[in-house]
Amino acid sequence: MAGAATIPTVDVAVEDGTITSPFAAGPRRVPEQVWAIRSRNLTKAYGHRRAVDGVDLRIPAGSIAGFVGPNGAGKTTTLRLLLGLVRPTEGSAAVLGASIDNPMGYLPRVGALIESPAFYPTLSGRRNLEVLATLGGQPRARIDAVLDIVQLRDRAGDRFAAYSLGMKQRLGVAAALLNEPELLILDEPANGLDPAGIIEMRSLLRTLRDRGLTVFVSSHLLGELEQLADWIVLVQNGKLLFQGPIDELLMRRRAALVVGAEHPGDADVIAAIARRDGHTVEVVDGRARINTDRAYAAQLNRAAMGAGVTLTEIALERATLEDTFLTMTGGH
Ligand code: ATP
């Protein structure tokens, strides 16, 4: 817990939307542009508890932005604030350029799946969407289009009750797409899905991003969003821990050089050299594990040779993103 407060919030994009990260040109997409969501000091208190605490959120338009934090971190409350379902105690936010003080200024352009939508179990997927389209004043012609997007067209005639959990979630996304939104907000859409369902959901969200939507999707598991999100927002105890391109977060993973040498006892010599050079080291299973980066490898190699030790292995190990996240959030 103590470590969490010491981690500065990283914000690599400047105010006008220009991305300054050297990784912006990489394979993950972080488009140059406006913020689809922007908040300043957004705060929601319930009694003495600040469920959302002074959050300055920036979500780039056209990206898949992952919103990650442990249970109770304030994700759902933030999403509810952004959808105008609850009022902030302090601060402000704009969604698609319009203030959350006036949700009707942007809600017609937003699709959301916050809690599992109430579908009629005995009606087919298509009939359920027809009911929602009628209630929402959307054209029925849109139904085939959204069924195609979520790949449920061939099962659209089946009763909702007979759908798998993954199909139910995709129907929920279809419902959120009925109004042709520019921004889709999804609260834990992968919760409870099996690996195949998670892969389908990822592929659906990528398709939507590639069609130009901004997708803001929450999860309590970073691993779930690691392969999907272009942009990551990490929260804990209502506070922002990190926001920026996923590559920026990947760079923060702790590195270690794992070094093996020819003879028993050599690892202790290596450890002594590395300690002399100011690094912390553990010797595990006859190998030295040095908490440093690749840049130290050549220097170590020379020093080892000078000490009469022949190295048989130098490997760079990186902590997983999930481990990095756990370190940042104090192990929760
Ligand atoms: P989870 O992943 O478990 O859904 P979360 O990150 O979405 O968690 P929130 O549901 O936003 O977290 O809750 C944040 C904190 O605010 C929690 O401590 C929760 O108990 C509290 N909270 C949320 N809604 C209310 C409410 N209506 N009244 C009182 N406290 C609330």
Residue-wise pLDDT tens for the chain (332 aa)?
A: 333 333 333 333 433 333 334 334 445 554 445 899 999 999 999 999 999 999 999 999 999 999 999 889 999 999 999 999 999 999 999 999 999 999 999 999 999 999 777 899 999 999 999 999 998 888 888 999 999 999 999 999 999 999 998 899 999 999 999 999 999 999 999 888 888 888 988 999 999 999 999 999 999 888 888 889 999 999 999 999 999 999 888 887 878 999 999 998 999 999 999 999 999 999 999 999 999 988 999 999 999 999 999 999 999 988 777 777 777 777 65
User: Can you give the pLDDT at residue 145?
Assistant: 92
Ligand 1 centroid–CA 321 distance in Å is 25
pLDDT of residue 29: 53
C-alpha triplet 265, 268, 274: angle, nearest 5° = 150
The label of the residue with tokens 């105890």 reads 237
Q: For 244, left (φ over 0), alpha (ψ -120 to 50), or beta?
A: left
Angle made by CA atoms 24, 26, 30, in degrees to the nearest 5: 40
- C-beta atoms surrounding 156 within 10 Å: 19
Which of 57, 68, 75 for mutating ligand 1's site (highest number of atoms within 8 Å of CB)? 75
Structure tokens at 90: 């302090």
**For the CA of 235, the nearest atom of ligand 1:** 6
CA 207 from chain center: how many Å? 17
* Interatomic CA distance for residues 114 and 51, integer angstroms: 17
**Which residue's CA is the nearest one to ligand 1's atom 25?**
46
Q: What confidence score (pLDDT) does residue 28 get?
A: 53
Closest CA to 200 of 221, 171, 176: 171
CB atoms within 10 A of CB 311: 17
**Separation CA 76–CA 159 (nearest Å):** 30
Atom of ligand 1 nearest to the CA of 69: 6
Predicted local distance difference test score (pLDDT) of residue 1: 36
Note the pLDDT of residue 323: 78
Q: Is the pTM of this model over 0.85?
A: no
Query: How far apart are alpha carbons 296 and 278 in whole angstroms?
Result: 11
- Whether 70 lines ligand 1, by a CB cut-off of 6 Å, is no
Nearest CA to ligand 1 atom 29: 46
